Structure 1
Amino acid sequence: MADRWYYCLKHNRAEKGLQCWFRDRMGPYPDQATAERALEIAHARNEQADARDRKWTEGS
């Protein structure tokens, strides 16, 4: 895990390895560029899940 990248919510940056407390981290990610996009990735996944929930709730 020391060679994996994480996004630190406390410091708002990508960090290599287990530098911060687990509840302040998102990841692991395969590289720094992906870790830097962590919030964007999470937002997109949440929108997809919300759309599936709406579809299921509405019965479509």
Structure 2
Amino acid sequence: MEPEDLKWYFDPKTGDVTQGKEGAWDDRMGPYDTREEAAAALDIAAARTAAADAEDRKEDDWGKPASWETDK
């Protein structure tokens, strides 16, 4: 048995949580270490997206607007 066969996956189309790679790759989120993590896949993805968006905003903040954005 391969290590990924012991991991958990979430199918966003059906809401099913499965152990091992079942179904097509585009119908699978994971792998996750536990069934509970897989069941929370959408929440985990949303939190990761929010964190990445916040980091992008932080990196884009240079402290002052670009010269073409200021009123002259």
| Pairing partner for 2:19 from 10, 16, 27 | 16
Unmatched 5+ stretches in structure 2 = 64-72
2:42 is paired with a residue whose SS is helix
Aligned residues: 60
Q: Matches of 2:38 and 2:47 in 1, distance apart?
A: 14
Normalized per residue, the structure richer in strand is: 1
| Pairing partner for 1:48 from 26, 31, 51 | 51
Could you say what the CA RMSD is over the residues aligned between the two structures, in angstroms?
1.1
Q: 2:37 aligns to what?
A: 34
Q: Which residue type is aligned with residue 53 of structure 1?
A: D
Q: What fraction of aligned residue pairs are identical, expressed as a percent?
A: 38
Q: 1:7 aligns to what?
A: 10
**Which ranges of 4 or more aligned residues in structure 1 deviate by more than 6 Å?**
none
Q: Matches of 2:36 and 2:60 in 1, distance apart?
A: 36
Distance apart, 1:13 and its partner CA: 2.1
Unmatched 5+ stretches in structure 1 = none
Q: 2:66 aligns to what?
A: none
